[in-house]
């Protein structure tokens, strides 16, 4: 309980008077009460549901009735912080932030204001907690509560894991101090695995779990299984109507984002591309113009979205399968936040997974490769180059080391020499890798016509509020589709339907696998498997059969996935049968983006890059690694280093365009690296 200084104000009054809202949205009030009462909370609600209020309101209530000061808010992105602070200030609340984008002077002033009790909210980035003395400084004044926004970033299983978040578990107790300051973890994207991870890693104390609101009543999901070559056309169809815009198109690569934006611009749309390789000023311009309505369409990579609060996005189109249902759900969640009808069109096919698998293989080498490196290690400190020759893992050596290091299997000393770590790295690494594979498989399964799309997502997120079908997705309302077209069955198809139902009735009571059912019904009639799947989809949509995904691992640990078909209990009125017209390649020669995985970029090689520059960059990287006491690959990867050496960028923008180079690297080292490139890798004169 709180030491009552003043009687606790009524949350509803605070809602009206401080936030100007008439009523709570669903679940907000319950969460606010739990926090006011001092419980830890794990809050999982979709983007736009109003999670911020769930910590902002209780923070004010607690500050008023306890001696507590401001709420501490951990947030991963500068843009996100700036946006939140600005909104709070506009409401007349006292909010400040500390992050790398601000002058040291301003951050210091923010800290002082916090300690003097002159703030209601203080935002900061998680990496601040690593600054010696910072957590202790904050701990001098107990906060009203601690909120960890985008909390899924703490989990390896989450789709944008951030190592900086890992510190939180360790440092939060310092911030909580001796008092019982509640902690609330907020995220829009967490499966049950991630939820458990957040609770454990943040050391939440018997948290109240609130997982709600994933149902989006106004968002129609449409999923089109189609070859890559058809997609630009279908995307154009998806946003052709003025009512279908503003729209966000997610393209799988930067290059495609730019190409598609150009194509659409030629057709007269107000459109721009957005991706992480663009100069910050351009990114800001695009984001601003889209928010202000000057741009109708943004063609973006997944870099676009976090921190965007635009309520009237009418359509989100994916031009390839996202890497997980979590990512998909977050991205489609950006449509229709104003509650008016919106649509998300996913254009994908099984071949997209090939690209994801290619990246998975590259970013998560097989455990046996890591084992090879691990076995080569012992207590004698060794250089990476020495090991490289020894273990013969080629390009993968650095990745293997990084993964081993993350999981404790390798230690990297300040002089960058490597020794063997603990044995227990393999199991968690293998689990993580399997999880990534499973996410890809899940996403691919989503392509099939098996059931209501909303229900599939709700089940995935463990939101079991209600189980009714949405009534608006492509499964529930085929005729309302914007891209897919449904038609009545031909006579021949009617016969196929009968054959399938007959075979099902003859089969086992619990149903059959789709494969067996195919063999027992249409295979003999020369119908191909794809067409059979369309017939099955038609039956499922009409409520005549029930389809479910079954997954298990055999004794060798291999994943076996299949679709179970069972006869539907005949309740409810029969719905008409309709089939979707399949989207196939228009021209057989159609070469599309799906070939990407095979069409591997020819990576620059060490031999071709200018030697002096490579050496200079390596020296620079090593010095920085030693100075910051981190392994060299944390400064920049070999791939990025090689990219810089072979492209010799001459501006920050060009540097940012190098694969593997991020905004953060440019912010930190841009000037030094560009100077180094200008000198061709030689030492600086003044040094």
Contact positions vs ligand ADP (CB under 6 A)? 21, 24-25, 28, 45, 47-53, 188
Nearer to ligand ADP, 188 or 535 (CB): 188
Q: Smallest distance, Å, CB 48 to ligand ADP? A: 5
DSSP characters for 40-53?
A: -EEEE--TTS-HHH
Q: Phi and psi at residue 624, in whole multiples of 5°? A: -65, -40
Nearer to ligand ADP, 24 or 124 (CB): 24
Q: Smallest distance, Å, CB 36 to ligand ADP? A: 16
The closest alpha carbon to 669, from 622, 606, 615, belongs to 622
Q: Smallest distance, Å, CB 207 to ligand ADP? A: 18
- Are the beta carbons of 381 and 388 closer than 8 angstroms? no
Q: Smallest distance, Å, CB 676 to ligand ADP? A: 42
Nearer to ligand ADP, 150 or 493 (CB): 150
Q: Smallest distance, Å, CB 56 to ligand ADP? A: 8
Residue that has been written with the tokens 């319950």 in this structure = 30
Secondary structure class of 542 (helix, strand, coil): coil
CA distance 393 to 417: 18
User: Strands 183-187 and 208-211, how do they pair?
Assistant: unpaired
Nearer to ligand ADP, 381 or 462 (CB): 462
Which residues are CB-contacts of 130 (< 8 A; sequence separation ≥ 6)? 164, 167
- Are the beta carbons of 388 and 397 closer than 8 angstroms? yes
Nearer to ligand ADP, 53 or 355 (CB): 53
Cis peptide before 146 (omega within 30 of 0): no
- Are the beta carbons of 169 and 122 closer than 8 angstroms? no
Q: Count CA within 13 A, CB hemisphere, residue 665.
A: 24
The closest alpha carbon to 289, from 316, 271, 304, 307, belongs to 271
Q: Smallest distance, Å, CB 336 to ligand ADP? A: 13
- Are the beta carbons of 36 and 11 closer than 8 angstroms? yes
Q: Smallest distance, Å, CB 32 to ligand ADP? A: 10
Query: 508, exposed or middle or buried, with CB in 10 Å at 0-12, 13-18, 19+?
Result: exposed
Q: 418 pairs with which residues across the strands? A: 382, 412
Nearer to ligand ADP, 51 or 596 (CB): 51
Nearer to ligand ADP, 27 or 420 (CB): 27
What is the separation of C-alpha 512 from the centre of its chain, rounded to a whole number of angstroms?
A: 35
Nearer to ligand ADP, 48 or 142 (CB): 48
User: Strands 146-148 and 71-74, how do they pair?
Assistant: parallel
Q: Smallest distance, Å, CB 450 to ligand ADP? A: 29
Q: Smallest distance, Å, CB 55 to ligand ADP? A: 9
Nearer to ligand ADP, 107 or 187 (CB): 187
CA distance 397 to 377: 13
Residue that has been written with the tokens 């897919």 in this structure = 484
> b/e map of 475-493 (b: 16 or more CB within 10 Å)?
bbbbeebbbbebeebeeeb
- Are the beta carbons of 399 and 388 closer than 8 angstroms? no
Nearer to ligand ADP, 51 or 407 (CB): 51
Q: 223 pairs with which residues across the strands? A: 346
Which residues are CB-contacts of 108 (< 8 A; sequence separation ≥ 6)? none
Q: Smallest distance, Å, CB 309 to ligand ADP? A: 6
Residue 366 neighbours by CB distance under 10 Å: 13
Nearer to ligand ADP, 45 or 400 (CB): 45
Nearer to ligand ADP, 49 or 673 (CB): 49
Q: Smallest distance, Å, CB 10 to ligand ADP? A: 15
CA distance 146 to 143: 7
Nearer to ligand ADP, 23 or 687 (CB): 23
Q: How many residues appear in the chain?
A: 687
Q: Smallest distance, Å, CB 319 to ligand ADP? A: 24
Q: Smallest distance, Å, CB 247 to ligand ADP? A: 20
User: Strands 208-211 and 41-44, how do they pair?
Assistant: parallel
């Amino acid at each position: 309980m709180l030491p009552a200084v003043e009687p606790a104000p009524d949350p509803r009054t605070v809602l009206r008077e401080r936030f100007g809202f008439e009523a709570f949205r669903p679940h907000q009030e319950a969460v606010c009460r739990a926090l006011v009462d001092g419980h830890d909370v794990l809050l999982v609600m979709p983007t736009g549901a109003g999670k911020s209020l769930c910590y902002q309101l209780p923070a004010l209530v607690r500050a008023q009735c306890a001696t507590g000061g401001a709420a501490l808010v951990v947030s991963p992105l500068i843009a996100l912080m700036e946006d939140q602070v600005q909104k709070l200030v506009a409401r007349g609340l006292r909010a400040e932030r500390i992050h790398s984008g601000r002058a040291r002077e301003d951050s210091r002033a923010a800290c002082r204001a916090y300690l003097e009790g002159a703030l209601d909210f203080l935002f900061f980035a998680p990496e601040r907690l690593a600054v010696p003395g910072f957590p202790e400084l904050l701990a001098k004044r107990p906060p009203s509560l601690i909120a960890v926004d985008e909390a899924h970033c703490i989990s390896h299983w989450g789709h944008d894991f951030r190592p900086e978040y890992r510190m939180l578990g360790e440092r939060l107790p310092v911030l909580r101090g001796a008092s019982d300051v509640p902690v609330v973890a907020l995220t829009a994207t967490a499966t049950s695995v991630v939820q458990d991870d957040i609770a454990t890693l943040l050391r939440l104390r018997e948290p109240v779990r609130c997982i709600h609101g994933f149902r989006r009543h106004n968002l129609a999901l449409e999923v089109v299984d189609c070859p890559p070559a058809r997609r630009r056309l279908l995307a154009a169809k998806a946003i052709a109507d003025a009512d279908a815009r503003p729209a966000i198109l997610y393209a799988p690569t930067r290059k495609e984002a730019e190409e598609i934006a150009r194509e659409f611009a030629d057709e007269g749309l107000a459109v721009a591309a957005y991706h992480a390789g663009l100069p910050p000023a351009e990114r800001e311009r695009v984001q601003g113009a889209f928010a202000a309505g000057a741009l109708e369409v943004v063609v973006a990579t997944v870099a676009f979205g976090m921190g965007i609060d635009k309520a009237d996005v009418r359509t989100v189109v994916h031009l390839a399968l996202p890497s997980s249902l979590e990512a998909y759900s977050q991205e489609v969640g950006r449509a229709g936040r104003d509650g008016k009808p919106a649509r998300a069109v996913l254009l994908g096919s099984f071949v997209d997974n090939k690209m994801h698998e290619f990246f998975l293989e590259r970013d998560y080498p097989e455990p046996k490769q890591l084992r090879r490196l691990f076995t080569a290690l012992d207590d004698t400190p060794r250089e990476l180059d020495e090991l490289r020759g020894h273990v013969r893992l080629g390009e993968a050596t650095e990745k293997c080391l990084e993964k081993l290091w993350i999981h404790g299997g390798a230690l990297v000393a300040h002089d960058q020499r490597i020794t063997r770590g603990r044995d227990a790295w393999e199991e968690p690494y293998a689990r993580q890798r399997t999880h990534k594979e499973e996410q890809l498989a899940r996403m691919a399964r989503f392509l099939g016509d098996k059931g209501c799309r909303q229900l599939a997502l709700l089940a995935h997120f463990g939101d079991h509020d209600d189980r009714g079908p949405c009534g608006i997705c492509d499964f529930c309302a085929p005729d309302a589709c914007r891209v897919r077209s449904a038609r009545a069955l031909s006579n021949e198809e009617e016969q196929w339907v009968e054959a399938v139902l007959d075979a099902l009735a003859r089969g086992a009571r619990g149903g059959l696998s789709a494969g067996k059912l195919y063999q027992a019904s249409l295979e003999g009639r020369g119908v191909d498997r794809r067409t059979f799947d369309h017939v099955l989809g038609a039956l499922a949509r009409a409520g005549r059969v029930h389809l479910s995904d079954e997954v298990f691992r055999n004794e060798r640990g291999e994943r076996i996935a299949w679709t179970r078909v069972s006869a539907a209990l005949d309740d409810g009125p029969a719905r008409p049968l309709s089939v979707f017209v399949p989207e196939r390649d228009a021209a057989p020669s159609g070469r599309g983006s799906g070939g990407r995985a095979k069409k591997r970029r020819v990576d620059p090689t060490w031999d071709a890059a200018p030697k002096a520059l490579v050496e200079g960059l390596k020296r620079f990287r090593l010095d920085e690694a030693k100075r910051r006491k981190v392994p060299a690959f944390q400064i920049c990867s070999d791939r990025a280093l090689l990219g810089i050496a072979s492209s010799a960028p001459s501006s920050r923008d060009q540097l940012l365009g190098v694969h593997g180079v991020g905004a953060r690297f440019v912010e930190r080292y841009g000037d030094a690296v560009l100077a180094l490139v200008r000198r061709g890798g030689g030492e600086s004169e003044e040094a």
